[in-house]
Structure 1
Amino acid sequence: MRRLSLILLAVLMTISLIGCTPKKEEVITMGFVPMRDGDKLIESVEPLTEMLSKELGVKVEGFTATNYVGVVEGLGSGQVDFGFIPPFAYVLANKESNAQVILTALNKDLEAKYRSQFIVRKDSGIKSFADIKGKKVAFVDPSSTSGYLFPGAHLIKEGIDLEKDIQYVYSGGHDKSLQLLLNGDVDVATTFVDVRDRYEKDFPDANEKTEILGYTEYIPNISVTIRGNMEKDMQDKIKNALLNIASTDEGKSLLKDLFNMYGFTEATDADYDIIRTTAETMDVDLKAAE
């Protein structure tokens, strides 16, 4: 009887200890790539994760990836709960793991989209896209959305065969494409809108010597994407938390400094169908496009 009592006591103590064991703290992981506007490193996203933690009532930590594919893979594996990724990366994440876009970032004009432009020299004699045939075009990089993929797709829709009707080079940068155009090394440059104002100090005569031939279709801005198996309640909480943060002066300043974002608007998967169409037109492997 004494032995039975000791066994029961041991069992009760074990149950008591299990009950006292603290639960593992819930953590939400935010994925990002440490670049802002292509040229400035993000030193830390801790101020943003702290604001999100306060809004959500759950600890938020940052996951730093060396490129956007790292965030896409993190969303698929569950290592990342949500992240800031560009449109092609979103379409890839959606295809691979059913990741879902919940918000699209706004630019300084408070638009959730942007375009590419085609620039020519004013003395080039190029007045239409048909005039580009036989000319030399500067694209930025084969992985650039605004510097190659959308401009290339636009030229194809204009009846131009990229391999037969034109010569082209990859400049390695939007500013470098503009420089090639001004130097007379190419006849057409494809860049974001408007590269001439962005690099006015480097090329003060760019606006005087060049003109815009036309624009591509609109491209969705950076997305806020959540992992595909996230509970609806948490999806809504993250969405509302980011919208709330973007509505405050402190939050606006923080998003601008970190990611060059000026707020968010709600988004759906259909908003990114233009990316899928463009990838198909350009015969692009979405994974390679990142």
Structure 2
Amino acid sequence: MPTRLLARLLAPILLLAGLFAIVPISAAGDGERHILVLGRISDDPKIHYEQLKPLLDYVVPRMADVGIREGRVLMARDAQQMTSYLRRGQVDWVTETAASAVLLQSRGNVRPMLLTERDGVSRYRTVFFVRRDSGLVRLEDLAGRSVAFQNNASTSAYFVPAIELLRRDLSLSLLLSPMDKPSRDNVGYVFARSELNIGAWVHKRLVDAGTMSDLDWNNPARVPPSFRKDLEVIHITEPVPRALEMVRADLDPKVQARLREVLIEAASDPKAAQAMRHFFRTTRFLPIDDGASQVLERLRSGVARVKADVE
């Protein structure tokens, strides 16, 4: 095969590999402590790189006084790989949704730093909904019925609703498809992949109930009015943080403190506006108060139970 043709064929593969590339272990050593590494668990590293890099480029020049002169982005395929990066000192700052964040906290060398407000909202709730003519009025009625989650990484459409069902001593079992049926004493669940699918499956009676965040429930693009008129909410959970910024627990305290300061101040800096929009439409970074800490602790124990009892 001609060399030029081979190079063209390999280029997309090499790009993807580069986005997942491991930052050398020396990044944590004396010679490269000037590098700040921002990490994220990703199933689409190219898109996420474009979302993360502008904010990292904003942050790095403002951390020169603590020795930071360069920034890098490092993606992980899953929580296990990110945990390995954190333990080896290859990632300094992690941005994740709440469930993924507390899972990393329980597994790896990481601690919560800030709450992330997106589109002016720092917390959301999970709603359980059914067809109005279903006869289902409470969560306990879902025994022997089926429920649609989004995917096994979703905070609002998997972990939080699964935790809520387990708290009511309802066992969960994975169904092979929406057409499959659970046993009488189990709640069967399927992954619908998107909020639009979840709403459609409930509306078309493929499943008995669906779950999603209240933000998605109130978004006509996720639940069209033609669906909503036949659906009703039977349960709403307590609010949980939309997302968190985490730092490696053994990161230099001066670097941690400066990073926290820069992120909090970014909301009032016009120069940060575009980078914040790219960063998952972030509007502010907020301190973690006692109330949020308590919610995160309950979420952490709940996620652990889902991992042990469901997966």
Q: CA deviation at 1:83?
A: 1.8
1:24 Cα deviation from its structure 2 partner:
6.7
Is 1:277 equivalent to 2:301 in the alignment? yes
Per-residue Cα deviation, 1:92-117 (whole angstroms, up to 9, x for no partner): 43334431111110132432x22211
Relative to 1, partners in 2 of residues 1:35 and 1:108: Cα closer, same or farther, differing over 3 Å? Answer: farther
Q: Look up the SS of the partner of 1:205 in the other structure.
A: helix
Normalised by the size of structure 1, how large is the TM-score?
0.77
Query: Measured at CA, do residues 80 and 181 of structure 1 come closer, stay the same or move farther in structure 2, by a change above 3 Å?
Result: same
TM-score (structure 2 length as normaliser): 0.73
Partners in 2 of 1:155 and 1:178 — Cα distance? 19
Q: SS of the residue aligned with 1:217? A: coil
Q: More deviation in 88-97 or 58-67? A: 88-97
Instruction: Return the offset for 1:273.
Output: 0.7
User: Which runs of 5 or more residues in structure 2 are unaligned?
Assistant: 1-30, 174-184
SS of residue paired to 1:263: strand
> What's the counterpart of residue 268 of structure 2?
247
Q: Which of 32, 36, 42 is 1:28 aligned to?
A: 36
Give the residue type in structure 2 aligned to 1:239: R
Q: Is the 8 A contact 1:141 1:148 kept in 2?
A: yes
| Structure 2 contact 129–211 (Cα < 8 Å) conserved | yes
The match for 2:69 among 59, 63, 67 is: 59
Q: Which residue is equivalent to 2:280? A: 259
Q: Look up the SS of the partner of 2:229 in the other structure.
A: helix
Give the C-alpha shift of residue 188 in structure 1: 0.7
Note closer, same or farther for the CA distance 1:198–1:110 as it changes in structure 2 (3 Å cut): closer
Which letter does structure 1 place at the counterpart of 2:63? L
For residues 199 and 82 of structure 2, the distance between their equivalents in structure 1, rounded to whole angstroms, comes to 31
**Which residue of structure 2 lines up, in the alignment, with residue 47 of structure 1?**
54
How far residue 255 of structure 1 moved from its aligned partner, in angstroms, is 1.7
- 2:139 and 2:236 mapped to 1: Cα distance? 11
RMSD: 3.1
Helix, strand or coil: the match of 1:284?
helix
What whole-Å deviation, never above 9, does each CA across 1:243-290 have from its counterpart, x for those lacking one?
A: 11122234244222232322111127655212222124424389x8xx
Amino acid at match of 1:51: Y
* 1:187 is the counterpart of 2:208: yes
2:26 paired residue number: none
Q: Give the residue type in structure 1 aligned to 2:238.
A: E
Aligned length: 263
* 1:101–1:226 CA contact under 8 A, matched in 2: yes
Q: Distance in 2 between matches of 1:231 and 1:201?
A: 43
Moved more, 173-182 or 155-164: 155-164
Give 2:20's aligned residue.
none
- The answer to whether residue 248 in structure 2 is matched with residue 210 in structure 1 is no
Aligned partner of residue 101 in structure 1, secondary structure: strand
Question: Within the alignment, does 1:126 sit opposite 2:136 as a pair?
Answer: yes
> Shift in Å at residue 160 of structure 1?
2.8
Contact 1:71 1:83 in 2 (8 A): no
1:185–1:97: structure 2 CA closer, same or farther, 3 Å change rule?
closer
Instruction: State yes or no: 1:91 paired with 2:102.
Output: yes
Mark the structure with the bigger radius of gyration.
1
Change in 2 beyond 3 A, CA 1:236/1:285: farther
Is residue 221 from structure 1 mapped to residue 245 from structure 2 by the alignment? no
1:160 equivalent among 170, 183, 200: 170
Q: Residue 106 of structure 1 aligns to a residue in which SS?
A: strand
Q: In percent, how many aligned pairs have the same letter? A: 20
